[in-house]
């Protein structure tokens, strides 16, 4: 079992560009959540996908959007990148009321 | 707005000493309380998922207690070792959404 895998591991983008991050959940997990972690802070919940639908959303603007595919993998898209979007983006998969398993994260730098 | 607070923000502990820190969370809409350990350059690793008021869980030298009525959980580490150095995060599980604290950064001094 490969656990949760994220790609790419590092990414550098220019302000105004768009970015897509990818996540493959742990085998058997149907729920995928995305988090943003800025330096020195705890993870901030972006949104969660279940059965290909966005089930819950945190306090993030519409520039942040996502998708879940039938195989439960997920994408996070960020449009019109700002310098403040630079962060570690974590994907976690879980089944209800069980522990979340995290990927290694994608380090996004916006210049 | 649901808020999860952890204290202290950071902690320096002498090797061999025991320590504890706190997670405070809303007392309503409670499903579970999660504890994770996050070591530098690694992914967060689950320690405990606690669901029942009064629950106490233990994994080796680490244990946790839960009080859902007053909205707090304690994490205890007995006989701290250098490998315990990490950031310890708690997360309040409310209807599948994990709301995270900012973490307690634990540094074990040899």
Encode pLDDT of B25-64 as tens digits: 998 888 899 999 988 777 889 999 999 999 999 999 999 9
A4 → chain B, closest CA residue: B43
The verdict on a CB contact (< 8 Å) between B31 and A99 is no
| Dist. CA B18–CA B80, nearest whole Å | 6
The verdict on a CB contact (< 8 Å) between B100 and A45 is yes
The verdict on a CB contact (< 8 Å) between B98 and A41 is no
**Residue among B6, B43, B96 whose CB faces A103 most closely:** B43
Task: With a cut of 70, list the residues of chain A below it in pLDDT.
Answer: 1-2, 96-97
- Beta-strand pair B72-77/B62-67: antiparallel
pLDDT above 80 for B2: no
pLDDT above 80 for B87: yes
**Residue among A42, A55, A105 whose CB faces B43 most closely:** A105
What is the three-class DSSP state of B82?
helix
Query: A100 CB near a chain B CB, below 8 Å?
Result: yes
B48 → chain A, closest CA residue: A99
The verdict on a CB contact (< 8 Å) between B34 and A99 is yes
| Dist. CA A25–CA A6, nearest whole Å | 9
Contact by Cβ (8 Å): B67, B53? yes
């Amino acid at each position: 079992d490969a656990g949760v895998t994220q790609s790419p591991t590092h990414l550098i983008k220019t302000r105004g560009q768009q970015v897509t991050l990818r996540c493959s959940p742990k085998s058997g997990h149907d729920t995928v959540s995305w988090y943003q972690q800025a330096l020195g802070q705890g993870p901030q919940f972006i949104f969660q996908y279940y059965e290909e639908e966005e089930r819950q959303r945190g306090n993030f603007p519409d520039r942040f959007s996502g998708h879940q595919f039938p195989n439960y993998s997920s994408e996070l898209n960020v449009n019109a990148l700002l310098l403040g979007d630079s962060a570690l983006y974590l994907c976690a998969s879980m089944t209800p009321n069980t522990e979340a398993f995290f990927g290694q994260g994608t380090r996004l730098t916006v210049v | 707005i649901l808020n999860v607070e952890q204290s202290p923000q950071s902690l320096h502990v002498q090797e061999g000493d025991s320590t504890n820190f706190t997670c405070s969370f809303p007392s309503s809409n409670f499903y579970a309380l999660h504890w994770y350990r996050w070591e530098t350059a690694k992914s967060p690793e689950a320690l405990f998922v606690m669901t029942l008021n009064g629950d106490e869980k233990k994994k080796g030298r680490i244990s946790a207690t839960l009080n859902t009525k007053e909205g707090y959980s304690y994490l205890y580490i007995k006989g701290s070792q250098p490998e315990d150095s990490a950031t310890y995060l708690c997360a309040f599980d409310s209807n599948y959404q994990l709301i995270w604290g900012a973490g307690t950064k634990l540094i074990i001094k040899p």
